[in-house]
Structure 1
Amino acid sequence: MPEAAGWQAELEQLKTVSARIGSDPLLTQGAGGNTSLKVGGTLWIKASGTWLAHAKERDIMVPVEMAPLIAAVEAIDPAAEQAHQFTVAALNSSGLRPSIETTVHALMPQRVVLHVHCVDTIAYAVRSDCIEQIGPCLAGLNWAYVPYARPGLPLAIAISEHRSQRPDVLVLGNHGLVVAGETVPQTEALLEDVKARLRVAPRNAPAPDADRLAQLAAGTDYRLPSSEAAHAAATDPAGLSLAGKGSLYPDHVIFLGTGSVIARDGEDVSAVIARLGASPVSILFPGAGILMRRDATPGADAMARCLADVLARIPENAPVRVLTAEEHLQLTDWDAEKYRQDLARKGAAKKIA
C-alpha cells in the first residue's frame, strides 16, 4: 500500500468533498450517492446506508479488496452482490458494509469516483430521448450513456461494456451521474463542470395551501415534509402530471414506495388509506401540497424534496421512461436495499429516542 501519509491525506480530501456534495440536495439526497478512492489494491468507498453529508463527522468509508471483487463481477458471480465479503477487516473499524454500488466503483479504472443523484442530470436521464438531449451539452468530454440497470451487479455489467472507452463521465439512465478522475480536486472540478453543463432552470410552482394541509393532517398520522420545497410536486400541475406516470429512479422506490400516491378529488387522508388498503409514506394533494407519514425517515423526506426538484426540471411534454413492474420488484426484493432501509429506520428511531 502507498505511503500512509499520502493516501490518508487523499482520503481526507475525499471526505471533505463528500461532505460538500452530500450537503447539496440538488446533488445528493439522504443516503444516496457514493464516493471512492483507490489506494493500491484497496478501494475506500462510502458505506451502505450512510450519508455523504456526514463524511467529516462519522467514519463512513469502508475498505474493499478490489481484485477478488472484480474477478467476481467478470465471472458474473452472485458473490459480487455481497461486497461486504470483500472488505479488508483489519482496516474496517466501523464494521459497516460497503455501498451497494461498490462494483461500479471498482470497475472504473480512475482512482477517484464520485456518484451523485444530481437532479438536473436525472431530469435528462429519465427521458427516452436522453442521448439526443445531453449530447450537445457534454460535447468535448469523454462520456457515455448507460441504459437503466438495477444498481449493483447489473449496473456494473452494463458499465463494463464501456471500459475500452474509459469514460470520465457516465449518465445513468433513470438513475444519476458518475464522474471519475485521478485526483480528488480534478474529479470535483469535473463534477462541477458537468453539473453546470446539464443545469436546467426549474419551473416555478405555486405556494402550498398551508391551511388546507393543516386541516388534512389534523387527527392523522401524517405531517408536513421537512422541506417546504417538496410541496412543488403537488402544486405544479405539470410536475403532478409527470409524477402520476410512475417511479422515475430507484431511490424513489426504496424510500417512498412504488410511484406517487396522488389524492383524488374530495379525498382526505383516511379516504386515500381506505382506497389503497395501506398508509403510504407520502400523499400528494393536488394544488395543496404533500403530507408525509409521521414515521417517515429523514431519507424519505429527502426523496420527497428530490421528487419535486426533478419534476420541476422535466418539460411537461417530454417523453419520460418510468421504471417497469419488474424493475420495481428487483429493487424491493433485494437484500442489499433491505439492509439500507433497516439502517435508515434504526437511524430514525435513534433520533426519536
Structure 2
Amino acid sequence: MVVRIDQEDAELRALRVLSASVGADPLLVQGAGGNTSLKQAGLLWIKASGTWLMNAATSDIMVPVELAPLLEAVAHRSLAAEKADQFTPADLNPHRLRPSIETTVHALLPQRIVVHVHCVETIAIAVQANAEALLAERLRGLDWVFVPYRRPGLPLAQGIAERLKPRTDVLVLGNHGLVVAADTVAEANLLLKRVSGLLSRPPRVAPAADIDALIRLGMGSDYRLPVAIEAHAAATDLASCRIAASGSLYPDHVIFLGVGSVIAGPNENAAAVVARTRETGQPSPASILFPGKGILMRRDANAGAEAMARCLADVASRIDPGARVNYLSPQENAELLNWDAEKYRQELNRRSGTLQ
C-alpha cells in the first residue's frame, strides 16, 4: 500500500532545506531548472515540473510518483514514462502538479536521495568535445560516468541506463548538468559540494557593461537592461560572445531564451535587430547581445529568461576561447521546442514568471 510521507519526516524536511539552498545559488540552479528527489515507501517524491527549487522549504512542490510502475515503463521504453503523472496517486497530489521532466532519471538511480543541478562549472566542461577526458583528470577516485547529450526525459534515462554501474553516484550529463546520488541528504550535499568544487575554475574577468550606450541602443524599442548585471559578461567579454554566437549550449537556454543567441551588428540598435530577425520570420529575440557593450532583454522577459541570460554569461566565461564546443543540433533544438513536457514548462513560466 502506498503511504504518504509525513510532513514532519526528518529526511524529507532536510531535502526541502537542501533544495531551497541549492535553488537559491545561480551557479547551481537557474530559474525552474534542477530537481531533487527522495525514495520512500514505494514512492519517489520529486520536485514538480516548472516549480523553483528555491521555494522548496516554504511551498509544497514535491510530487509523489509510484516507483515500480514507472521503472517498468522505463524498462519497456514505454512513452508512459514520459508522462510520469500517470503514476502519481491523485489523493496524494491535491494541487495536480506534474512531476519533473527528469523523473525517469531519478527513478533509475538506486540511492534514496538524488540531486540534479545545472551547475555552471559542470556545464562549462560538459559542452566541450573532450569533456570525458577533462572530467577524468578532475574526478579521479569517484564513481562517476559521463552521459553524452540526449533529450531530457526517456531518451536521457535510456542513455544513463546504458552507462550506469552498480556503484555510480555521480553523473555528468553532456550539454546539460550534474547528478549526484546518496542514501542520505547530508551525504548528497557533501558529494555535490565535492564534485562542483573539483570541477570549478575561475571565470574570465569581463569588462564592465556600457550602460549609457545600452540605454541609447534600446531607445524606442521594447528592450531594457537585464536584472542581473552579471548577464552583461556574455557580450562584454568577446570570447564569451563568440561562444554564445555559435549556437545553443544546453536545453534550458532553448526553452527560456530561444535557439542560440542574437548578436547585434556594429551599427545596429535594438529596433534594427528586431527588424532584421522579423525579416527572416523569427520572433523578437528574448535577449540581444551587443559585443563589447552588454545585453538588452525584451521588456516582457520574465524571471526564467532573466535567469538563463545570466547563466549564459556564467557558463561561457568558464570555457577556454580555443575549446572545441559541442552545440545542440537543429534537430535537438526542435525536439525541445516541440516536446509537450517543455511546452508545459514554458506555459508555467509565461503565466507566473517566478512561481513564487
3-state SS of paired residue (1:234): helix
Does residue 344 of structure 2 align to residue 339 of structure 1? yes
Task: Identify if the C-alpha distance between structure 1 residues 13 and 107 changes in structure 2 by more than 3 Å, giving closer, same or farther.
Answer: same
Q: Number of paired residues?
A: 351
Which residue in the other structure is 2:108 paired with?
107
Shift of 1:56: 1.1
Which residue in the other structure is 2:267 paired with?
266
CA RMSD of aligned residues (A): 1.5
Which amino acid letter does the alignment assign opposite residue 293 of structure 2?
A
Structure 2 runs not aligned, ≥5 long: none
Which residue in the other structure is 2:306 paired with?
301
Which amino acid letter does the alignment assign opposite residue 15 of structure 1?
R
**Mapping for residues 283-302 of structure 1, pairs under 5 Å:** 283-302=288-307
Does residue 321 of structure 2 align to residue 316 of structure 1? yes
* Farther-moved stretch of structure 1 (42-51 vs 90-99): 90-99
Whether the aligned pair in 1 keeps the contact of 2:121 and 2:201 (CA below 8 Å) is yes
Whether the aligned pair in 1 keeps the contact of 2:304 and 2:353 (CA below 8 Å) is no
Which residue in the other structure is 2:135 paired with?
134
In structure 2, C-alpha distance between the alignment counterparts of 1:202 and 1:269, rounded to whole Å: 28
Whether the aligned pair in 2 keeps the contact of 1:125 and 1:176 (CA below 8 Å) is yes
Shift of 1:3: 9.6
Which amino acid letter does the alignment assign opposite residue 272 of structure 1?
V
Shift of 1:162: 2.6
1:260-284 CA-partner distances (Å, limit 9, x unpaired): 0000110111111111103100000
**Mapping for residues 192-203 of structure 1, pairs under 5 Å:** 192-203=193-204
Structure 1 runs not aligned, ≥5 long: none
In structure 2, C-alpha distance between the alignment counterparts of 1:17 and 1:342, rounded to whole Å: 27
3-state SS of paired residue (1:136): helix
Identity, in percent, stands at 59
Which amino acid letter does the alignment assign opposite residue 71 of structure 2?
I
1:276-331 CA-partner distances (Å, limit 9, x unpaired): 10310000011110001011110000000000000000000011000001100110
Which residue in the other structure is 2:39 paired with?
38
Whether the aligned pair in 2 keeps the contact of 1:60 and 1:94 (CA below 8 Å) is no
Which residue in the other structure is 1:208 paired with?
209
Does residue 333 of structure 2 align to residue 328 of structure 1? yes
- Structure 1: which 4+ aligned runs deviate by more than 3 Å? 1-7, 163-166
Task: Identify if the C-alpha distance between structure 1 residues 140 and 337 changes in structure 2 by more than 3 Å, giving closer, same or farther.
Answer: same
* Farther-moved stretch of structure 1 (147-156 vs 160-169): 160-169
Shift of 1:348: 2.8
1:217-258 CA-partner distances (Å, limit 9, x unpaired): 222111111100000000001101111111000000000000
In structure 2, C-alpha distance between the alignment counterparts of 1:6 and 1:57, rounded to whole Å: 12
1:105-138 CA-partner distances (Å, limit 9, x unpaired): 0111110000000000000000010011111210
